[in-house]
Structure 1
Amino acid sequence: MKKITISCAAGSVLAVAASSAFAQSSVALYGLVDTAIRYQTNAAPDGKDLVGMTVGPETNSRWGLKGTEDLGGGLSAIFRLENQFEAFNGKLSLPNELFGRQSYVGLSSDTYGTLTLGRQYSPLYDSMGEVFDPLTVGDYWQDSWVWNGIGPYLIVNNSVKYTVTVDGLTLDALYGFGNQAGSVGLGSTYGVDLTYVRGPATIGAGFQQTSVTSAQGSLVNGAKINMLHISGAYQLTSSVRLLVGWLHSQDQTGTTDTNMQQAGAPGLPGSSPNRIDDTFYVGGNWQATGALLFTVAGYYDHARNAERLDGTLGPGINYSATLLAEYSLSKHTEVYGTADFARGNGAFAADYPGSTNQVGAVDNIGRTNNVGVAVGLRQIF
């Protein structure tokens, strides 16, 4: 990571003043560039396969600026601006959002924790992405489908966030203003997560609720999407870490059915007004050598009251397994390879491109699955 120390000089008086004001201030430019070549089966109607260039399995390309100023007494002013882009075509991942990942300013105290304001990760995203999800809320559909339905609500605009750690217990709490005239709650988000570390064991639990507006696609203005997780991690040895958890979501907005679909999936005739998903996951990391890291992950989701291709509501089951190997060529550069498999039935058939043929008719020959392999290169700066 490259650190740039800010200073200012304009004559002897200004030079002394600047030296005093900025001696403990810094701004760091950081980021990563990650691109892969991927093969995937059943990526289009009639079960056609795909070979192409895409993002990495765990990390989108990004760059950012973060800064801190020491205010004395263990208190610092901080900020972060973080962009996300696609290295294979140079476009923003989120159109018209220069700092689509994060953009916030705040205060951090050694004693009292950190308070930030702006566009930020929700506590659920912090907990799962940094601690409990084996694939850190990955990027390929086959690796991250469990997040697709609720993913749009894991980065929160207009939010106030407070994080503090005391004796191994971390509290992460957020409130996102809806900014809707005449209604405090419309469009708002609140979430809280608790993580406790004791020896080799880590446990966590959290809840988030978002009031989704019609402009965001909700069937009912202000309908709620609720998310709950209970998770655990255990450092079995110095090189092996085990992960397990349960993620529950209830969507009354009608957005999950379409958000859950992968690219090329058939259009749905409607959406569910009360979809419920219970996802169970298990995984692990093995640092085989100083340079070689293996990650395994398995996910199983039982959906209820979900939209089917014929317009009725019903259950569905989806499951996937992923193996990822990462090899560090240096401190900042690594190559990786990944293989994954995903399969769905019932309402989940609507999420697979191979479930229909070229004219849009439902294909009943069992192409509601994907196999994928990818190799890529990641450079961190």
Structure 2
Amino acid sequence: MNKIKLACYLSVCAASSQVMAQSSVTLYGLIDTSVRYTTSNPTTSGSHSKISLGEGAFNGPRWGLTGTEDLGGGNSAIFRLESGFNIVSGKIDQQGQLFGRQAYVGLSNTTFGTLKFGRQYGALYSFVASVDPISAGNYSEDAWETGLTGVRYDNTVDYTKNFGPFSLEAQYSSGNQSGSTSIGRTMQVAGAYDNGTLRLGAAAQQSKDVAGRSLTMFSLGTKYSVQKLTAYAYYINSLKDPGFTIGAAGTSDPLANTSLLSNANTVFGPNTQTSERRDSFLAGALAYQFTPALRVLATYMYDHVSNVSPGATGSVQTAYAMAIYNLSVRTDVYAEVDRSHLSGASLTDPNSPLASFGGPANRWGASIGMRHRF
């Protein structure tokens, strides 16, 4: 009897070891926080300077679980659940969605690519982040292009495949609305060539709001490295139909929870936009790796806006510089300085990707921060 029990025990242990060898679940996270000084913050008593403790320049704090199970034959089941939080208060970020950063499950095949289902980063946003020196950043001043591209999309089916140095990503995000498959729908595609030294690619996107009005957008971008120097450049062209509207954050309304900006209101009030809005955005940057631990970079971003309100143009500009020092593989500290400028109709634009400064045309900012990964 004891021999039988021992044999059964060893069989169970062997089976468990085999399952453990074929499956993995990882707990991970990141905390990025900084002390930041900014001028020209609008208040009820005018525009004022502010010193604040909050999220850092690079990333929103998050924790998550990711896992994979080997199904054999080159197939794997995958998942990711990622939750954002406010580092100062500890509250859930991303509109109060528990896993508002990412939540998906999928299948991956070494030959045919990867298919994922759930809340995911937009393909165009991901492409832009891949050719940006800080992967699109986290302050409003170093990441305001995300108001043009959106960031994450609910109800998304995502397909990715690599063909040697070439990559392809295609997405369909359903609006999940009765009566029409186009209400709240977003379609995206991105492709790139990357040989380790040069990355070059393009992406396109179309979104439909609750009334079938369109956002149409495309992007071109590149990144090129020569020894310790890396150059970055990308362009975004965004066209929004007059009246284009985003659903309220935290709801299941069409295009809610995407971080996109609407085109319905103007300085003259709600629903006064009768013209198609065009944002022509261009960014360029240089980064230099002085030592294995020290990296410095400088970036310039410019957006020329046609029809901020009917017949009125404006522009948004930001220049920023950073120095990042790695204390270890997982921890770095940094210093940052930036200057932003609004001109023309963008001074009072309620749909500006950088928002309003409350009257002044310029805003200065500076920060020191720390980032840790686990």
TM-score under structure 2 length normalisation = 0.86
Match 1:243 to one of 232, 243, 257: 232
1:380 paired to 2:369: no
Does residue 201 of structure 2 align to residue 204 of structure 1?
yes
Distance 1:267 1:138 in 2: 28
Distance 1:255 1:140, change over 3 A: farther
SS of corresponding position for 2:95: coil
Aligned to 2:252: none
| Equivalent-residue separation in structure 2 for 1:169 and 1:259 (angstroms) | 28
State percent identity of aligned pairs.
Answer: 35
Match of 2:118 in 1: 118
Distance 1:54 1:165 in 2: 38
Partner of 2:63: 63
- Identify the residue that residue 95 of structure 2 maps to in structure 1: 95
Task: Report the number of matched residues.
Answer: 342
Q: Which residue number in structure 1 is paired with residue 296 of structure 2?
A: 294
- SS across alignment from 2:40: strand
Q: Which residue of 1 aligns with 2:4?
A: none
- Once the two structures are superposed, what CA deviation does each residue of 1:306-364 show, in whole Å capped at 9, x if it has no partner? 13xxxx551101111010111111111111110000001112102565444xxxxxxxx
The answer (yes or no) to whether the contact 1:47–1:353 under 8 Å persists in 2 is no
Deviations 1:214-260 (A, max 9, x none): xxxxxxx22111221011111122x211011211111124459x976
Q: Aligned partner of 1:126: which letter? A: S
SS in 2 for 1:343: strand
Residue 133 of structure 2 is matched in structure 1 by 134
Comparing 270-279 with 338-347, greater Cα deviation is found at 270-279
In structure 1, distance between residues paired with 2:156 and 2:125: 14
Contact 2:41/2:358, CA 8 A, preserved across alignment: no
Q: State whether residues 135 and 297 of structure 1, in contact with CA within 8 Å, keep that contact through their aligned partners in structure 2.
A: no
Taking only aligned residues, the RMSD between alpha carbons, in angstroms, comes to 2.2
Mapping for residues 142-221 of structure 1, pairs under 5 Å: 142-151=141-150, 154-198=151-195, 200-213=197-210, 221=211
Q: Which residue of 2 aligns with 1:335?
A: 333
* CA distance in structure 2 between the partners assigned to 1:63 and 1:268 by the alignment: 42
CA distance in 2, matches of 1:198, 1:334: 28
CA offsets per residue over residues 188-234 of structure 1, 9 Å max, x none?
A: 11100010124622111010111122xxxxxxx22111221011111
With over 3 angstroms needed to count, the CA separation of the structure-2 counterparts of 1:291 and 1:79, relative to structure 1, is: same
Q: Does 1:321 align with 2:319?
A: yes
Q: Structure 1 residues 52, 267: closer, same or farther in 2, change over 3 A? A: farther
The alignment partner of 1:87 has SS state of coil
Conserved 8 A contact 2:214-2:244? no
Aligned to 1:205, the other structure's residue is in SS state strand
Structure 2 residue 17 is the aligned partner of structure 1 residue 19: yes
2-structure distance, mates of 1:336, 1:260: 30
State which drifts further: 319-328 or 20-29: 20-29
- Whether the 8 Å contact between 1:48 and 1:354 is mirrored in structure 2 is no
**In structure 1, how many angstroms separate the alpha carbons of the residues matched to 2:178 and 2:336?**
47
**SS in structure 1 of the partner of residue 99 of structure 2:** coil
Residues 209 and 244 in structure 2, CA contact (< 8 A), matched pair in contact too: no
Residue matched to 2:283: 281
* Partner residue in 2 for 1:105: 105
- Amino acid in structure 1 at the alignment position of 2:18: S
Report the AA paired with residue 221 of structure 2: S
Q: Secondary structure of the equivalent of 2:307? A: strand
Alignment partner, residue 273 of structure 2: 272
Return the letter of the residue paired with 1:23: A
| TM-score, length of structure 1 as denominator length | 0.84
Taking the TM superposition and a 5 Å limit, the aligned residue runs for 1:302-317 are 302-307=304-309, 313-317=311-315
How many angstroms apart in 2 are the aligned matches of 1:56 and 1:295? 16
Q: Is the 1:70–1:77 contact (alpha carbons within 8 Å) kept by the matching residues of 2?
A: yes
1:113 touches 1:165 (CA, 8 Å); kept in 2? yes
Q: Where does residue 212 of structure 2 map in the other structure? A: 222
Q: CA deviation at 1:16?
A: 3.7
